[in-house]
Amino acid sequence: MSRSSRTVILVEGALCIALSVVLSYIRLFRLPQGGSVNLELVPLILFAWRRGLFWGCGAGVLAGVLNLLLGGYVTHPVQAVLDYPAAYGAMGLAALFPRQKLSGLLVAALAQFACHLLSGAIFFASYAPEGTNPWVYSAVYNGSFLAPKVILSAVVTWFLLRKLERIHPARGQ
């Protein structure tokens, strides 16, 4: 890879990370203990499909670190890693399915859900109602914002890809 190609990828990645962080502040709704429905995943997923697993995961990790630094909620260092760099880095897994876009998005979303599920069950079990299994509580809580976020992101991503196919038929593949 030439130096100029690497520079183009870095600039594109920086723009996608910045757009993701900006979109994280435009929320449809936010849950009390964190988690919100927004479009922050869209630029990270598109970048992963364009540039591959390595660059996609790297951009996701950096977006997660920025979100953590700009107002993340931390109870433990491991929780911080799970909820931010690991969960956002999981968006790079969409690159594993460059031709089956929906499959890639779902794999990335499931990996992100796994990060939040683990974090919630271990570090936020005290928020669960008495007698409620912390894993069930974490699955329901995290699913309540991740499912709508993923559906919204899938719809917007599909729309953007359709528009891109009309503008650049060869690039929309």
Q: What is the pLDDT of residue 34?
A: 83
Using DSSP, state whether 150 is helix, strand or coil: helix
Q: What is the pLDDT of residue 44?
A: 98
3-state secondary structure 69-134: HCCCCCCCHHHHHHHHHHHHHHHHHHHHCCCCHHHHHHHHHHHHHHHHHHHHHHHCHHHCCCCCCH
pLDDT at 171 over 60: no
Rounded CA gap, 113 and 107, in Å?
10
Domain segments of the chain as ranges: 3-167
Entry pTM: 0.91
Q: What is the pLDDT of residue 173?
A: 45
Using DSSP, state whether 14 is helix, strand or coil: helix
When pLDDT is cut at 50, 70 and 90, the band that residue 169 belongs to is low
State in words which class domain 3-167 has.
Answer: mainly alpha
When pLDDT is cut at 50, 70 and 90, the band that residue 47 belongs to is very high
